[in-house]
Amino acid sequence: MPDDYHLDRPTMSLPSTAHALATLAAEGGEHSEHASLNPYLTGGGALVALLLLLWITTRFNRDR
């Protein structure tokens, strides 16, 4: 590996990364070309997944 390898890689600092993500989030809603997810379907799926994980956890946590 050459000594100047680190000069070829782009680096981002935390503030510039945060600014880039905030800009992306601010512009994302207006320039979106895909259909958005249904929040009820997303929330329902997350609830079902968490309830399944809770049920599995309680099955393995028996004190018998």
pLDDT tens profile 24-62: 777 765 555 667 788 899 999 999 999 999 999 999 887
Q: CA–CA distance from 56 to each of 19, 49, 64 (Å)?
A: 41, 11, 16
Is 12 within 8 Å of 20 (Cβ atoms)? yes
Residue found under tokens 């968490």: 50
**Confidence at 23, pLDDT banded by 50, 70, 90:** confident
The pTM assigned to this predicted structure is 0.44
pLDDT on residue 18? 82
Cα dihedral across residues 54, 57, 59, 63: positive or negative: negative
Residue found under tokens 């249904």: 38
From CA 62, how far away is CA 29, in angstroms rounded? Answer: 47
